[in-house]
């Protein structure tokens, strides 16, 4: 039975399921590195997921849908940024409000534009990569390797590129150094002439774009439809991945893969195992809680994360 | 006595911020309504005149406000201890299911015993579900926001499992037609476990009130719980400790208050409030558990608590306002034949929340500036 579950297809599907978590988690890395907590990732994923499907169906082109999802994510990021950075309001409450807003506005427009709460994707994204060889004795390994590494949606490769770039930007550029300093010790960064408000705005808008992209992958690629509340807590699981990954891009990617594995397992075990499906559905959420407990003491957040910056006036 | 203290208008303005936020949100909402091609003035007129223009409307408003009072108190109470309990949804699920379970299991008990037992079960279920994130926060420092959200989804799965375990037997009519239950649900609770509708009381008092109106005794339980929350927070030692932890945990610990103990207790009490939603949903209205994906009552509690400034009286008033919006919104949906979907109200609530926190911050700054000048 284990052999049936853990094969190349399963690993490939783990990767696919991990992508939305990884992208949103990376968004969390950017904002928290700059000192802003973004609980609104969940709502940004949901809105991205809806926008991607709606625009794809109207424009008859999934790429336009992906772009629109990113823009909508940036827009929600802007609301969060204005509320938390400019007005220095409570960051968690603002995030919660964005989630509430997303739940409402997605179904609102779903009814308005389509007259139902579930919409199918009409134009799918292509699959890029090598073509699968016919199964022969020798080509099974080749086939498995291709299934795992080289037969995916373009967004999977894009995600890998984004992660490499993010690592370089955060750790190897002056911009990244400023970003991290703003989240660790804003007073010092301010003294050195770093524009704290600007850095935090960039970080929050980036997280919005990444969460929007994450949502577009979820609806266009993973589900092939949009349905009410389809983000299913992924924004929060992504935050758990970020914490477990110690606020680093590669750590977050690793943790997202772990969660992807858990979710793929729960999908795969449905109908196969004797355990009731409702308990299998709990796996990703239980995993997130256990991972958070195990991360205690090992993962240290950026020192100024969640604290609005008040310039000292002498 | 020369220096009579001048009345400080900024304080008054500060208390009024929720009202300003609501008005601003309604203005933004009118832009959204305009987008749908409808007339905002007509929509708002329909919304308010039907919701509060007659007794039936008021009954419906209070019926919808009841669960929001519970979930609003859930958020407000935990917030006084510095905790963000956004798991009201899950705590409500467990409490409500437990109330239903007691109601359809112990069917031979008299109402005098069964009703209190159901109420206790509802509170205990919610308290139990909130204690888990409470303990994790107190003992390991894991952030309660993520844990409570995860617990929401686990609760949804758990109740789904339980509802299939206790699924109501198919009726003769359903058997004959060979149909399955569309929405999984349990058996009905015993007659003795049901809370009377307010209609019965009004009839006794000879007041004209429609019999189909769903507002029930649970509304009084909600008011009672609001008073209880006030009493605990401001009149007991426990409440003092909880507020001390919320205000400054390190100072509280230094002053000999156990932060861990108060975090766990605050979460327990807060969760119990959420569980009590079951008194309205099961004991006063549906008389059974029906499995539905999130009703959003738990999440709306966050907006209610913020608008009510985390004070029990504010929570009750904010819940009634949201009751008006919810009921009026549903009517607008019907009157415009779906051209203005009821989800408009969710959007309005989110905008209200954002405006409340922004205007709060602005007034805090304004007051600080005034003091500096003075």
CATH number for the domain that contains residue B342: 1.10.3470
pLDDT of residue B1: 46
- Report the distance separating Cα B131 and Cα B111, nearest Å: 30
A103 CB neighbours in chain B (<8 A) are: 296, 299, 343, 346
Q: Among all residues of chain B, which has the CA nearest to that of A106?
A: B343
Other residues' Cβ atoms within 10 Å of the Cβ of residue B374: 6
> Are the C-beta atoms of B130 and B270 separated by less than 8 Å?
yes
Residue A118 backbone dihedrals phi, psi, to 5 degrees: -135, 125
Measured at the CA of B101, the angle between CA B98 and CA B106, to 5 degrees, comes to 125
B339 CB neighbours in chain A (<8 A) are: 112
**What tokens appear for B216 in the block?**
């029930």
Question: Is B174 within a domain?
Answer: no
Identity of the residue in B86, B158, B361 whose CB atom sits nearest the CB atom of A87: B361
Question: Is A130 within a domain?
Answer: yes
Question: Is B178 within a domain?
Answer: no
Does A73 have pLDDT greater than 80?
Answer: yes
Say whether A89 and B361 touch across the interface (CB within 8 A): yes
Question: Is A274 within a domain?
Answer: no
B347 CB neighbours in chain A (<8 A) are: 101, 104-105, 108
Q: Could you give the ipTM of this predicted complex?
A: 0.87
Please give the share of chain A, as a percent, with pLDDT higher than 90: 63
pLDDT of residue B161: 93
Domain count, chain B: 1
- B197 has which bridge partners? B216
Nearest alpha-carbon partner for A308 in A9, A85, A46, A34: A85
Q: Which of A139-143, A202-206, B76-80 has the lowest mean pLDDT?
A: A139-143
Question: Is B161 within a domain?
Answer: yes
Domain count, chain A: 1
CA B97 vs CA A25, B41, B91, B101, B267: distances in Å: 34, 41, 10, 6, 19
Question: Is B176 within a domain?
Answer: no
A112 CB neighbours in chain B (<8 A) are: 36, 339, 341
Residue A89 backbone dihedrals phi, psi, to 5 degrees: -80, 170
Identity of the residue in B36, B136, B302 whose CB atom sits nearest the CB atom of A96: B302
Say whether B302 and A39 touch across the interface (CB within 8 A): no
Question: Is B188 within a domain?
Answer: yes
* A154 torsion bin: left (phi>0), alpha (psi -120 to 50), beta (else): alpha
Contact residues for A197 (Cβ-Cβ < 8 A; gap 6+)? A85, A86, A309
Say whether A100 and B299 touch across the interface (CB within 8 A): yes
What number is the average pLDDT over the span A147-153? 83
Question: Is A276 within a domain?
Answer: no
Question: Is B277 within a domain?
Answer: yes
Q: Distance (Å) from the C-alpha of residue B365 to the closest C-alpha of chain A?
A: 10
Nearest alpha-carbon partner for A184 in A165, B143, A192, B83: A192
pLDDT of residue A1: 44
Identify the DSSP state of A7: S
Does A204 have pLDDT greater than 60?
Answer: yes
Query: pLDDT of chain B along its 374 residues, tens only?
Result: 455 556 666 677 777 788 888 898 899 989 988 888 889 999 999 889 988 888 999 999 999 999 999 999 999 999 999 999 999 999 999 999 999 999 999 999 999 999 999 999 999 999 999 999 999 999 998 989 889 999 999 999 999 999 989 887 766 666 666 666 677 888 899 999 999 999 888 888 888 888 888 999 999 999 999 999 999 999 999 999 999 999 999 999 999 999 999 999 999 999 999 999 999 999 999 899 988 777 788 888 988 998 898 999 999 999 999 999 999 989 998 988 888 888 888 888 888 888 888 888 888 888 777 777 76
Does A276 have pLDDT greater than 90?
Answer: no
Question: Is B318 within a domain?
Answer: yes
Question: Is B287 within a domain?
Answer: yes
SS3 A299: coil
Say whether A111 and B341 touch across the interface (CB within 8 A): yes
B158 CB neighbours in chain A (<8 A) are: 278, 282
Other residues' Cβ atoms within 10 Å of the Cβ of residue A113: 13
Size of the A and B interface in Cβ pairs below 8 Å: 134
Say whether B358 and A83 touch across the interface (CB within 8 A): yes
Other residues' Cβ atoms within 10 Å of the Cβ of residue B313: 12
Q: Among all residues of chain B, which has the CA nearest to that of A79?
A: B354
Question: Is A68 within a domain?
Answer: yes
pLDDT of residue B119: 97
Which of B85, B88, B149 has the highest number of chain A CBs within 10 A, making it the mutation to test binding with A? B149
Q: Among all residues of chain A, which has the CA nearest to that of B36?
A: A112
């Amino acid at each position: 039975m284990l052999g049936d579950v853990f094969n190349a297809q399963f690993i490939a599907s783990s990767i696919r399921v991990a992508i939305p978590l990884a992208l949103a988690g990376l968004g969390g890395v950017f904002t928290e590195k700059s000192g802003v907590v973004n609980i609104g990732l969940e709502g940004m994923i949901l809105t991205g997921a809806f926008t991607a499907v709606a625009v794809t169906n109207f424009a008859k082109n999934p790429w336009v849908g992906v772009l629109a999802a990113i823009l909508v994510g940036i827009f929600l990021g802007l609301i969060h940024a204005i509320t938390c950075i400019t007005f220095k309001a409570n960051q968690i409450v603002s995030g919660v409000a964005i989630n509430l807003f997303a739940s409402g506005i997605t179904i609102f427009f779903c009814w308005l534009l389509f007259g139902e709460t579930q919409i199918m994707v009409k134009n799918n994204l292509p699959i890029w990569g090598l073509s699968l060889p016919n199964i022969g004795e020798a080509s099974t390994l080749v086939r498995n390797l291709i299934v795992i590494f080289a037969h995916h949606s373009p967004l999977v490769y894009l995600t890998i590129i984004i992660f490499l770039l993010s690592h370089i930007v955060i750790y190897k550029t002056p911009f990244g150094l400023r970003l991290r300093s703003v989240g660790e010790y804003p007073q010092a960064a301010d003294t050195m002439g770093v524009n704290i408000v600007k850095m935090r705005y960039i970080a929050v808008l980036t997280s919005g774009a990444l969460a929007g992209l994450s949502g577009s992958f979820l609806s266009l690629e993973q589900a092939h439809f949009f349905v009410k509340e389809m983000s299913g807590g992924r924004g929060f699981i992504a935050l758990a991945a970020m914490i477990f990954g110690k606020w680093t891009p590669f750590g977050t990617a690793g943790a997202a893969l772990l969660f992807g594995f858990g979710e793929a397992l729960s999908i795969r075990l449905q109908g196969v195992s004797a355990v009731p499906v409702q308990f299998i559905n709990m796996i990703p959420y239980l995993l997130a809680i256990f991972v958070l407990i195990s991360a205690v003491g090992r993962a240290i957040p950026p020192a100024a994360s969640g604290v609005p910056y008040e310039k000292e006036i002498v | 006595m020369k220096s009579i203290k001048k009345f400080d208008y900024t304080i008054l303005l500060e208390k009024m911020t929720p009202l300003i936020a609501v008005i601003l949100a309604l203005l933004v909402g009118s832009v959204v309504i305009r987008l749908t091609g409808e007339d905002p003035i007509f929509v708002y007129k329909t919304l308010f005149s039907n919701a509060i223009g007659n007794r039936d409307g008021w009954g419906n408003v209070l019926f919808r406000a009841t669960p929001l009072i519970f979930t609003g108190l859930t958020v407000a109470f935990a917030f006084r201890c510095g905790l963000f309990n956004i798991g009201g949804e899950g705590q409500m699920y467990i409490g409500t299911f437990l109330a239903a379970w007691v109601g359809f299991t112990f069917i031979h008990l008299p109402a005098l015993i069964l009703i209190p037992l159901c109420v206790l079960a509802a509170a205990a279920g919610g308290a139990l579900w909130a204690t888990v994130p409470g303990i994790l926060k107190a003992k390991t420092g894991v952030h309660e926001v993520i844990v409570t959200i995860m617990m929401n989804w686990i609760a949804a799965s758990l109740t789904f499992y339980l509802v299939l375990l206790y699924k109501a037997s198919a009726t003769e009519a359903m058997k004959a037609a060979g149909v399955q239950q569309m929405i999984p649900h349990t058996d009905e609770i015993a007659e003795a476990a049901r809370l009377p509708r307010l209609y019965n009381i009004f009839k006794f008092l000879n007041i004209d009130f429609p019999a189909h109106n769903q507002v029930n005794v649970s509304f009084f339980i909600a008011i009672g719980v609001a008073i209880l929350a006030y009493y605990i927070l401001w009149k007991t030692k426990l409440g003092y400790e909880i507020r001390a932890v919320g205000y400054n945990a390190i100072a509280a610990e230094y002053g000999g208050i156990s932060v861990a103990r108060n975090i766990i207790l605050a979460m327990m009490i807060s969760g119990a409030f959420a569980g009590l939603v079951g008194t309205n949903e099961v004991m006063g209205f549906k008389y059974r558990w029906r499995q539905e994906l999130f009703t959003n009552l738990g999440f709306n509690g966050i907006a209610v608590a913020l608008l009510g400034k985390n004070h029990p009286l504010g929570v009750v008033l904010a819940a009634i306002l949201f009751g008006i919006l919810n009921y009026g919104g549903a009517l607008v949906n019907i009157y415009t034949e779906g051209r203005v979907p009821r989800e408009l109200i969710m959007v309005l609530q989110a905008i209200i929340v954002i405006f409340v926190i922004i205007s709060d911050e602005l007034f805090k700054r304004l007051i600080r500036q005034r003091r500096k000048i003075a």
